[in-house]
Structure 1
Amino acid sequence: MMTVQDGENRALAWVRRLLQQTLAETPEDDPRHQALQDLLALAEEKGLEAGPLRLLLLLAALGRRYLRERFGPKAARKAGQAVFHLPVDLVASFLGVHRTTVWRWAAPLEEAGLIRSKTHVATAVRGGEAQNLNTGTVWAVRLKPGRARFEHGDLTHPWRDMAKDLEEGRTAFRVIYPKGKRRKKGDQTERLRPERVSLELLVKWTLGIREVPALDFLRPAPTENPTIEAAFLLAEMEAQDRPTVIDLLSERMAHELGDPHSRRFYAGLLWKVVEGKLSPHALVHAYHRARAAVREGYARRGGAFLQHLLEAAA
């Protein structure tokens, strides 16, 4: 059985190997050469206590998970780098530091060519006016020796519908401060501590599943119109509420996938989630992919494509 120490030793060995192999392939007159030497010395001196190395390990772990969930295990094993979208505030929350510390740790990694990061901006219509909104950060991280690079499509890709997420409260701030940043306590204003997020939550956000804790609209009552993310709560829901919520949710899924005559099929999938026969993460992920395919014209039969995705992921 692997211990925590064993895991840390393996992680540090991977970092050293990546640094050593990348350094060996980098010409001495390349500015990255010195940055790689400095990181290797840091690994020898401080190990995983060094902030830049902690950040590198996290981004690499997220990159592998993103590739495996999105494209399959073979992609995660073969890829030289991964590119994904994730707000820096969530990265900071997981690491237990301020966002400025994340950028400070990222600087030597960028100098060494091991990562790239860029704020992603998208245009959205809010209040009848077009606005440029920062949706988060696009990250490129090396999984094998080489130089992290962005392609043009990485920065123009519609990673996020920011206007919709703002409207529904699906923001990094809501994850980190579910009860707000401050609260009144008598005559005083008390600053609340930020929540620490889990690795699984970060993975979901990279996949476009922007889960937020304790939001009212994710606790559906019979009179509400739940979103697909309510699938995460079906098993915990009051038994008397489930049939109504599943009925509403299956109707919504059928409508959004252009499959209005297949409500019973979608209801059956949701009941499998309740029974533990289907992962809610797998269903939500496949649903978002199927909905995008229908909207972009890649799939005409949303239900059949959803079933194909679920079978491929099983």
Structure 2
Amino acid sequence: MVAFVPNDALRWALGLASSSFYRVIGSLKEKGLIAGGAWRTPATLRVKGAYRSGVYAAGSLYAVRLPHRTRRPRLEREDYAHPWRDLEGDVAAGKTAWGLVGESSSPPKEDLEALTLLLAFSLSPSAKPNALAIDSPTALLRAKGGRRQRVEALARALAEEFRDPGSVRFYAHLLWGALRLEDYGLRQGALEVLAWAIGRVREAVATADLSRRKVLRPGALLASLLKAEGLLDQIRQAPQWRVA
């Protein structure tokens, strides 16, 4: 899984001092759990009283090894090429991680609050708000209350994002199935596998758009990825026990 985040925002959300934060990041890299690098973008910014054009670091990219994977994570060229942020727009609007940390008295106390804050930076400017929760199924789907509404909203968001309006029930089936596998101990980490597969489909769609091609059936690609991981068959074979 690859994510963009400004280190200032991540450190602040975790409630860590700079020295502790970078020590933890270094340890995770040594263990092969993450890989990281600065994400840079062309921009014209006011520096020391004058506007200067150049290439500026806008945040960091992290490739994270998911629990069901064994290969060391790595960042690819397309990860750096993705338009993660509009740096000039963020600076003009005052929506920078440095500004956020300076204006806030204390980091968020709840995990969901911290996650929402970080995703505000991690999602590209063109991302739609209703896709927010798809990137964080652990926090937003595992919670017991209001599951039905969240699953329905996520299924509709996926169908809209992948331009596949006739497959809302299919996406809901996958979401319910992953939840069922986790709730009844049939497969731990099922939601992470689903989130990983969704991410791969998004990358394929984005790459195809850049090359003026199209992924004709994103839902079929998602099913193929889940089948290769053994998750699709588990979802289909699991007893239809209640998880709402």
TM-score (ref. length: structure 1): 0.40
Structure number with bigger Rg: 1
TM-score (ref. length: structure 2): 0.49
